[in-house]
Structure 1
Amino acid sequence: MSKLLLLVEYTAKQGERGAFLEEVQAAGILEKIYAEDGFLKYAYYLDAADADKILLVEEWASEEDQQKHLQTAHMAQLKAIKEKHVLSTTLQKILVP
């Protein structure tokens, strides 16, 4: 079974990057993700050259675990937070043997 690595790039609405990250943290979403089956890594990185860019690196034990993750209540909560603060999202999916 292959592990799944996701590189997700967010472009926040102008000046909203900090508010997005603060709201995600305050909602306790990260702790809920860390407790999920198949969780290996979920980390945000900030672009030093662009104050509106965020890179999310996700790693899951399997694609199935990641798909279950998308169905959780806290992911619906994250989606609502993203709608307030994020302009666009791009995704790169990598299967790791």
Structure 2
Amino acid sequence: MSLTVNLYYHGQNGSARKFAEEMEASGVAQAIREEDGNLRYEYFQPLADPETILLIDSWESQEALDVHHASPMMGQLAELREKYDLHMSVERYVSAEEAAGDEQFIRK
């Protein structure tokens, strides 16, 4: 069972996008992608809200996420959030083992 956390970074005057760009340029985002148990770490921008950046962050297990949360990288993240004066909202999803019949609705 994996879990996905959607983090919405809300800012002003393009600060959320600047945060995501610095996360990528500094190598912090890539370092997180390389952590044991990380399945996905990607930034997106909603078309209807240019002041928000969505981070989709997926992990193999709660234990892998806990190790990430205890890492020194979290300090770097906190500093960048402060630098860009970002506020956050969060959604959390746990994967189902089976698609429960949803395959018929997925066009590949």
In the aligned structure 2, how far is the partner of 1:28 from the partner of 1:18?
Answer: 16
Correspondence 1:1-97 to 2 at 5 A: 2-97=1-96
- Which aligned segments of 4 or more residues in structure 1 are displaced greater than 3 angstroms? none
- The DSSP-based 3-state class of the residue aligned with 1:68 is helix
Using the TM superposition, give the Cα deviation of residue 46 of structure 1 relative to its aligned residue in structure 2, in angstroms: 0.6
Checking the alignment, whether the CA contact within 8 Å between 1:10 and 1:86 is kept in structure 2 is no
TM-score, with structure 1 as normaliser: 0.88
User: Equivalents in 2 of 1:84, 1:13: separation in Å?
Assistant: 12
RMSD: 1.4
In structure 1, how many angstroms separate the alpha carbons of the residues matched to 2:3 and 2:17? 27
Secondary structure (helix, strand or coil) at the match of 2:21 reads helix
Q: Identical aligned pairs, as a percentage?
A: 31
Instruction: Quote the Cα distance in structure 1 between the aligned partners of 2:14 and 2:42.
Output: 21
Q: What is the TM-score when the length of structure 2 is the normalising length?
A: 0.80
Post-superposition Cα deviations, 1:42-65, rounded to whole Å, max 9, x if no partner, equal: 111011222111111111000110
TM-fit CA distance, 1:73: 1.5
Which 5+ residue runs of structure 1 have no aligned equivalent?
Answer: none
Larger Rg: 2
Residue 26 of structure 1 deviates from its aligned partner by: 2.3
Unpaired runs of at least 5, structure 2: 97-108
Residue 77 (structure 1) shift: 0.3
Q: Which amino acid aligns with 1:14?
A: N
Higher relative contact order (CA 8 A, sep 6+): 1
